[in-house]
Amino acid sequence: MIVGGHVITALFAVVAVLVFATVYVLVRKLDDAVAHREQAVVEHGIAAREGEVAGMVVPQVVWDEAVDHLDHRYDAAWATDNIGQFFRQVDGFEASFVLDAANRPLFASNETGSVDEGYYAEFASLTRPLVSRVRAAETKRGRIRTPAKPGVMVASPIQANTIGIVGGETYLITASLVQPDFGTIMPSGPAAPIVITAKALDRDFLSAFANRFMIADLKLHHGAAAPDGRGALAALRGVDGQVVAVLSWSPQLPGRALMRNVILPMLAVMSALGVTALTLFRFGRRAARDLIASEARASHLAYHDALTGQPNRVKFLDRLSHALDQARRSGGQVAVHAIDLDRFKDVNDTFGHHVGDELIRLAAQRMAAQCRSSDTFARLSGDEFAVVQSNASAASAAALAARLVEVMSESAELSTGRVFVGCSVGVTVIDNGEMDPAEALRQADLALYRAKGDGKSRYCFFEIEMDAAIKTRRLLEADLREALRTDCLQMAYQPQVDRHGEIIGVESLVRWNHPERGAVSPAFFVPIAEECGLISELGVFALRRAFRDSHRWPHLKVAVNVSAPQLRAPDFIDQVTALVAEARVDPRNFELEITEGVLLGDDPATHETLKRLRQMGFALALDDFGTGYSSLSYLRNYPVNKIKIDRSFITNLGVDNQSDAVIAAIVKLARALKLDVIAEGVETSDQRRRLTAAGCNEVQGYLYSRPVPADQIDGLVKLRVLAQSAA
C-alpha cells in the first residue's frame, strides 16, 4: 500500500509537472502570438500612415497653379499661402520647404510661419536621398506631354518618404515633385521644383495612432532598442534601411491572465486525471478562441471605421476595384455614390464633437439600411460616406440616391434633442470597367459638389461638363487673387431710405468686372473666396474702400458686410483699427452687417469681438434676419443695433398672408427690444406701403435704386428725396 501510495504520489507529481509545463508553454506561445499580431498591426499601420501623409501633399503639388508659381516663376507670397500656411494650418505639418530645379532651398516654413531658407540645412542630409530618388524617377519619366484634350490628368505623383530624426525630434518626411494636373501650364524645364514636408511623430501623432489601433502605452524611442528593454517593439527604419527609432507599447497578455484565473482550479482538480484532462481541454479551447478573436479584431481595425463599424476608405476602394473588374468581365455597370451630410458642421460646432459622433453613427445606420446586401456602404472620413452599387443602372442608382436623401431628410433624435441635417449625393454610373477607382470616386465627388451648389438635400449625376466647371472655378480663383493683388475690384452702393424717400444711408457691395468674363456675381466669387482663404483679404478690401468713399457722404450711415471668418480671425480688431486710422474715419458713421450664422454656438471669442466693435463706435446689424437660426437669445445677448428683414419675406408681401404676419412680428420684436429695423429687396410700391403699415420705415431695394458706383450716389444725395420707380 505504501509502495502503491508512493507510486501514485509520484505519478501525480509527474502529471502535475507535465500539466504545468504544458500550460506554461501554451501561455507563452499565446502571449507571443498576440504580441506578434500587434507588432504586425503597428508596422502595417505606420506604413499606411506614411502613405496617407504623402497623399495629403499631392493636391498642392500636382497642380497647374503650383507649376505656375513655383516652376515658371517663384512667387514667395503664393508659397507662403499654399505651401507653408496651408500645410501648417490644414494638414498640421511642422515644416515645409520648396527646392528649385538645382535642389537649392527657395522657401522654408516651420510652426511659426515662413522662416529663412537656411532652416533647410537641418533637414538637408536627411532629405538628400529622397531628393535623389525623386530626381531619378523624374528623369526616367521624361518630359510630360501636353494633353490631347482638356480635363485629363497628365501626371501621376512622384514622391519619396522616410522617417528620420532632426534636432532631437522624429519626423515623417516626404519629398514630392511639383507637376501639373490638367496640363494648362507645363513644366518649364527638365527638372521641376520639389516640395519637402515634415510631420512630427509627436505626442498627438502617437495618441491618435494608439487610439486608432487600440494600442496601450505607446512610446517612441530613438535608436534601435527601447531603454527599458520591455514591452512589444516595432522598428521605424530610415531611407537607408537602418533603424531610426523604435515604438514600444504594452502588449495584451491574455495567456498570463488565463494562467492567474485557472491555477487554483487546476490545483483543486489534480487529484483526478480525468478532471485534469478536462481542465486542459477547456483551457486550450478558450485560448484558441481568444487567438481567433485577436486576429478578427486586427482584421476589422484595418478595414472598418471605428466610430460606425462600417467599411472604411481602404475597404471601399478594394470593393470598388472588384466591382469594376467584374463589370469589365461581364459588361455590367457600377454606380458610385458620394454622400455628404448637410449642416453637420453647425450641429458639431453648436453641441460638441460627442453629439457630432452620435449623429454620424445614426446617419450611418439609416443610410446603410437603404443599401442592398450586395452594395458596399462606407464611411470615408468626417461626415463623408460612399456607396458602391454593383450591377446598377441609371434608374436603380437614382432610386438609391433618392432613398438616401429621403431618409436623411427626417429629423434626428439625439441626446441633446431633435436636429435636422439632410444629405447631398453625387452619383456616377460607370460602364467602363477600365476606369481607375480613384477616378470613379472623383467623378462622384464632382457630382456631389454640384448637388451642394444647387441647394443641398438632393442628388445629382456626374456630367462631363462638371470637369470643365471645376477647371473654370480654379481659373476664377487665380483671377480673383490677381484682381485683389492689382486692386481691380470695384464697390457699388445701394441707397437706404426712410418713409419719406430721403436717403439715410448706403450699403456697400463688392463688384467684380472680369476682363474676359464680364460681370461675375458675388454669389459666385464670394464662396470661392471663402473656400480658398481669400475672404479676409476681400473683407479688408471692402472695408478700406467703404471707409475711403464715406468721405463723399459725411451725413450718411455706410453699411459694410463682414463675414464669419473675418470676425473669428484673431487679428480682426487690429485690422479694423488700422483701417480706421488709415482712412481717418469715425466708426460711428458705419454699420457692420453680420449674418445669424456668425452667432451660432454663442462663441465667446465672437462675443468679445462684437463687444469691442461696439466700444469702438460701430453699429451692428443682423443681416438676413429670419432665414437661418433666428433666436431671441441672439438679440438679447449680443450688442446688435438693428435687424435687417430678408428679401425672401418681402417678395411674398401681398401674396402670402403669412409674410405680412411675419413682417409685423419682426417689427414688434424690434420695437420691444429697442432695435432699429430695415427691409431689403423692396421692388414695388405695394411692398413699401405694407412695410410702412407694419411699422418698418427704413427700406432699400430696386424700387429706389440698384447698387450704383459712388459717383452716382453723389447725384442721388443731391436730390435728397428719391422717387419710387422700379429702376
- Residues 367 and 410: their CA atoms lie apart, in Å, by 12
DSSP character string of 528-565 = HHHHTT-HHHHHHHHHHHHHHHGGG-TTSEEEEE--HH
Quickly list H helices, 90-180: 121-141
What Rg do the C-alpha atoms of the chain give, in angstroms?
33
Q: Hey, where are the domains in the chain?
A: 62-142+149-201, 313-463, 488-719
**Residue percentage of the chain with pLDDT more than 70:** 84
Task: Give yes or no for residue 726 having a pLDDT over 60.
Answer: no
430-439, 456-465, 633-642: least confidently modelled range: 633-642
Q: Rounded mean pLDDT of 439-445? A: 88
What does the pLDDT read at residue 300? 61
Phi first, then psi: what are they for 363, rounded to 5°? -65, -40
Task: Give yes or no for residue 76 having a pLDDT over 70.
Answer: yes
At 219 the three-state DSSP class reads strand
Dihedral of the alpha carbons of 681, 687, 691, 692, in degrees to the nearest 10 = 120
Give the sheet arrangement for strand 334-341, strand by strand: 376-381, 384-390, 334-341, 423-430, 459-461
Distance from first CA to last CA of the chain, Å, rounded? 123
- pLDDT one-digit tens code per residue, 280-314: 567 667 766 766 666 656 566 778 888 999 999 99
Task: Give yes or no for residue 668 having a pLDDT over 60.
Answer: yes
> Is the torsion defined by CA of 53, 55, 61, 65 positive or negative?
negative
What does the pLDDT read at residue 198? 94
Model pTM? 0.45
- Residues 233 and 243: their CA atoms lie apart, in Å, by 12
24-38, 91-105, 244-258: least confidently modelled range: 24-38
What does the pLDDT read at residue 144? 87
C-alpha cell at 29: 506561445
Q: Rounded mean pLDDT of 77-81? A: 92
Task: Give yes or no for residue 559 having a pLDDT over 50.
Answer: yes
DSSP character string of 237-273 = E-TTS-EEEEEEEE---HHHHHHHHHHHHHHHHTT-H
Q: What is the mean pLDDT of the chain?
A: 84
Q: Rounded mean pLDDT of 164-169? A: 88
Residue 434, judged by CB atoms within 10 A of its CB (0-12, 13-18, 19+), counts as exposed
What does the pLDDT read at residue 678? 94
CATH of domain 313-463: 3.30.70.270
| Residue with cell string 446689424 | 621
- Residues 449 and 472: their CA atoms lie apart, in Å, by 14
Q: Could you confirm whether domain 488-719 is CATH 3.20.20.120?
A: no
Q: Are strands 518-520 and 557-561 parallel, antiparallel or unpaired?
A: unpaired
- Residues 489 and 519: their CA atoms lie apart, in Å, by 11
CA 143 to chain centre: 34
What does the pLDDT read at residue 1? 45
Task: Label residue 3 by pLDDT band (50, 70, 90).
Answer: very low
- pLDDT one-digit tens code per residue, 478-527: 777 887 788 788 899 999 999 888 999 999 999 988 887 888 878 777 77
Q: Rounded mean pLDDT of 347-371? A: 90
CATH of domain 62-142+149-201: 3.30.450.20
Picking from 419, 449, 270, 404, the residue whose alpha carbon sits closest to that of residue 351 is 419
What does the pLDDT read at residue 316? 92
> Is the torsion defined by CA of 541, 543, 544, 548 positive or negative?
positive
- Residues 21 and 280: their CA atoms lie apart, in Å, by 12
Picking from 529, 557, 487, the residue whose alpha carbon sits closest to that of residue 713 is 557
Q: Please report, for residues 82, 84, 92, 197, 332, the alpha-carbon distance to residue 111 in angstroms, rounded to integers and kept in the order given.
A: 15, 9, 9, 12, 51
Picking from 103, 128, 105, the residue whose alpha carbon sits closest to that of residue 118 is 105
- Residues 277 and 284: their CA atoms lie apart, in Å, by 11
Higher pLDDT, 718 or 341: 341
Q: Please report, for residues 114, 146, 666, 668, the alpha-carbon distance to residue 591 in angstroms, rounded to integers and kept in the order given.
A: 36, 52, 20, 22
Cβ neighbours of 396 (radius 10 Å): 15
- pLDDT one-digit tens code per residue, 219-278: 888 876 666 655 778 888 887 878 888 888 877 766 666 666 667 676 666 666 555 556
- Residues 123 and 127: their CA atoms lie apart, in Å, by 6
What does the pLDDT read at residue 199? 92
Find the angle CA(110)-CA(111)-CA(115) to the nearest 5 degrees. Answer: 35
Find the angle CA(556)-CA(560)-CA(563) to the nearest 5 degrees. Answer: 165
* Contact status, residue 671 vs residue 682, Cβ threshold 8 Å: no
User: Which residues touch 720 (CB under 8 Å, ≥6 apart)?
Assistant: 502, 503
What does the pLDDT read at residue 698? 93
* Contact status, residue 303 vs residue 311, Cβ threshold 8 Å: yes
Picking from 211, 246, 203, 202, the residue whose alpha carbon sits closest to that of residue 39 is 246
What does the pLDDT read at residue 15? 64
- Residues 297 and 281: their CA atoms lie apart, in Å, by 24
Task: Label residue 599 by pLDDT band (50, 70, 90).
Answer: low
C-alpha cell at 370: 437603404
What does the pLDDT read at residue 299? 61
